[in-house]
Amino acid sequence: MNDLAKNLIVWLILAAILMSVFNSFSPKPEDNSIDYSTFVNEVRNDRVSEVVIADLTIYGERNDGSKFKSIRPNIQDPKLMDDLVNHNVKVAGKEREEPSLISKLFVAAFPILLILGIFVFFMRQMQGGGGGKGGPMSFGKSKAKLLTGDQINTTFADVAGVDEAKEDVAELVEFLSEPSKFQRLGGRIPKGVLMVGPPGTGKTLLAKAISGEAKVPFFSISGSDFVEMFVGVGASRVRDMFEQAKKQSPCIIFIDEIDAVGRHRGGGHGGGNDEREQTLNQLLVEMDGFEGNEGVIVIAATNRPDVLDKALLRPGRFDRQVYVSLPDIRGREQILKVHARKVPLEDSVDLSILARGTPGFSGADLANLVNEAALFSARGNRRVVTMEEFEKARDKIMMGAERRSMVMSEKEKINTAYHEAGHAIIGRLVPEHDPVHKVTIIPRGRALGVTQYLPEEDRYSMNRRQLFSQLCSLFGGRIAEELVGGFDGVTTGASNDIERATQMARNMVTKWGLNEKMGPILYGEDDSQAPGGGNTHYSEDTSREIDQEVKTILNDAYTKATNLLKEHRDVLDSMKDALMEYETIDADQVDDLMNRRQVRRPRDWDKKDSDNHSGGSSEDGVNSSSEDDSPIGGPVEDA
C-alpha cells in the first residue's frame, strides 16, 4: 500500500469520526409536528391563519404565530381546500424540488464508480502499491537492492587476508574511477568477475569494497531471486535489472550464489525451456549480446564453480576468476586486527598466537571468534577483552561449549585424565608433531576430555614421519588406559581415535603412496569403494595385502607409543594428578611435567569443586571421548 492510499484511508476515517461527533453534539430541531386530523380540527375551529402545501407535507402558522407541520395521508381529500377557503386560511403551494442532472448521474453511476475504485485499489496493491516491488503482479521486476556510492562505507582497508584477490580486482576500481585511462589504449575492462572460494572467506565483502572504493552504485541480488515457478519471470527480472543498471552506469551488479541460476543447461525436464534455463539464457545475452553494457560490471560469487555452465565462464562474460581462499596464518592475523579494532583489548592479547591456533578458519569464523570473546568478557563484567576470553571463545567454536553440569564419577574422571595425559605425552615425545597447547578433562560437545595441539605454521602437506607421529599420539589415550587398568580396563573412549587412525593408515597405503610394498599406486577411486562392497579396481589378493599393510602400520605405531609411555610412566601419573587438581593444564604446565618439575599453578586458576562433573554416554550407548585429540583441524586426509 502506497502513501497516497494510506493517507486517503486515514482522512476518510477522520471525516467519519468528526461527522459522528458533530451530529451527536449538534442541537436537534424542535419537534412541532401534529397529526392530520388535529390539523383539520384546528382549521375548522379558525385557529390557522395560513398554510403552505408541499406535496404531502403541510407547513402552517396559527393565529397566535406558532408554527406546525403535518403530513397528509396519501389519499385524495377534495374537502380540504373547501375548509381552508371557508375558514379564511391563506393557502400557498411549494414547487416540487427536482434533483439536478449531475446529481442524477452521480447517483446512477455511484455503484459503478465504487466497484471501479475497489478494483483499482486492489490492482495497485497487487503491483506493490505502484512502486513495482513486493506485489504479486511485480513478478517481472528486479529484486536487486540498490546502494549508492555514498551509502557504502566498506573499503579495501576493511578486507584483510585476501591480498592476492584484492590485487586482481584493484584495477576494477581504477577503471570505474577513470575509464578513459584504459579506453585510450584500446583496453577493455572485464565485463564480469567470478569470485570463487569457500563460504565465509569474504567474497561479498570484497565486492562491496570495490564499490566503496570507486564510489559507484552497487546492485546486490541472490541467484535464487531470479527463479520463480512461472517460466519467463526470471528472464524478465534479468532484463529489468540490467535496464536499471544502465541508468546508474557506471555501477556494479553483484550476484551472490550464482550457481542457483547458472548451472549446466540441458538437465531440465522441460526440453531446455524450464524457468532456470530461460533465466540463464537471458543472463548470457545481457552480459555479452548485441546490446552493450558499457560501465556495468557484473561480479558473481559461488563456492561451486564446477557446476556452472561453460557459456557463462567464457571470455566476454566472466572474463576473470578470482579465487578467494581461506586465509593463511598472516592473513588470519590481519583479519583479527580488523575485527579487533572495535573491541577494547588487554595489552597481553597476542593476535599472532590466536592466528596460529585457528588454521582453517575463514574470515567469518574469525569475526565470530572476536564476537564470542567480547561476549565472554561482558559476562564477566570486564572492561577489556583478555587472552583468556579469546581462548574460551576458540575452544567453544572448535570443540563446543563446556558441559560443567555433567556429573562424572571419580573413577571415570581418573580414567579420562589418564586418557588425555597419554595423548599429550606421546604428542610431546614423537618427532615433528604439533606442540601440545592445552589438556582438559572438562567435557565439551560429545567429548569427555580434549587434548589440543597448536601448529606453529600452516601446513599444506605432511610427510610419512609426521603422519606416523600422529598415529602414535592417537593411540596414546588407549595405551594409557591399558597400562593403568590392563586390557580388560580399556574403555570405549578411544573409538574415535581408532577410527581416525585406521582411515589415516589406509590412506597412506591406498592414496598417498607412503607404503613401500604397495608402492605409489591409487587403489580405489573414492571413499565409497569400501572393502567388500562396490566395484574395487584390484583383486582380492591385493585387498588382503592392503589390509595387512594397514595393520602393520597401526601395530608399529601402537608398539612405539606403548614403549614411550612405559618409559614415562611417572610423567603419566603426575599429569593425571595435575588434571584431577586443575582440570585444565596449559603448555607451560605440560613442560613442567615432562621435565619432572613441580607443576606451576595457573595464573587465573580458581579452585573448583571437583564433584561438579559427571559422565555420560553417546547415542549408541558407548562413552564419548576425545574426538578432538588430533592436531587442530584434524589430520590431513588427502595431500
Asked if residue 354 lies in contact with residue 328, where contact means CB atoms within 8 angstroms, the answer is no
Alpha-carbon gap, residue 318 to 196, rounded angstroms = 12
C-beta atoms surrounding 115 within 10 Å: 10
C-beta atoms surrounding 325 within 10 Å: 15
The C-alpha cell of 380 is what? 564477566
> What is the DSSP-derived secondary structure letter of residue 512?
S
Alpha-carbon gap, residue 522 to 511, rounded angstroms = 5
C-beta atoms surrounding 534 within 10 Å: 10
Asked if residue 175 lies in contact with residue 252, where contact means CB atoms within 8 angstroms, the answer is no
Alpha-carbon gap, residue 229 to 205, rounded angstroms = 31
At 315, phi and psi to the nearest 5? -60, 140
Alpha-carbon gap, residue 357 to 360, rounded angstroms = 10
Asked if residue 427 lies in contact with residue 433, where contact means CB atoms within 8 angstroms, the answer is yes
Is 97 annotated as catalytic? no
Residues ≥6 apart with Cβ < 8 Å to 193: 168, 169, 172, 297, 298, 299, 300, 318, 319, 320, 321, 322
What distance separates the 2 farthest-apart alpha carbons in the chain? 146
Asked if residue 434 lies in contact with residue 632, where contact means CB atoms within 8 angstroms, the answer is yes
Alpha-carbon gap, residue 544 to 509, rounded angstroms = 12
The active-site residue, picked from 372, 389, 402, 420, is: 420
C-beta atoms surrounding 207 within 10 Å: 27
> What single-letter amino acid sits at 364?
A
Give the Cα-Cα-Cα angle 390, 395, 400 (nearest 5 degrees).
135
Kindly compute the dihedral angle of the four CA atoms of residues 399, 404, 409, 411, in this order, to the nearest 10 degrees: 50
At 9, phi and psi to the nearest 5? -65, -40
Closest CA to 423 of 623, 578, 575: 575
Judged by DSSP in three states, 134 sits in: coil
Closest CA to 628 of 460, 365, 423: 423
Alpha-carbon gap, residue 494 to 294, rounded angstroms = 63
> What single-letter amino acid sits at 159?
V
> What single-letter amino acid sits at 253?
I
Alpha-carbon gap, residue 352 to 318, rounded angstroms = 37
> What single-letter amino acid sits at 446?
R
Q: Write out the E strands in 355-481.
A: 436-440, 450-453
With 0-12 CB in 10 A as exposed, 13-18 as middle and 19+ as buried, what is 1?
middle
The C-alpha cell of 66 is what? 406558532
Measure the N-to-C terminal CA separation of the chain; round to a whole number of Å. 59
Looking at the annotation, which residues are catalytic?
A: 420
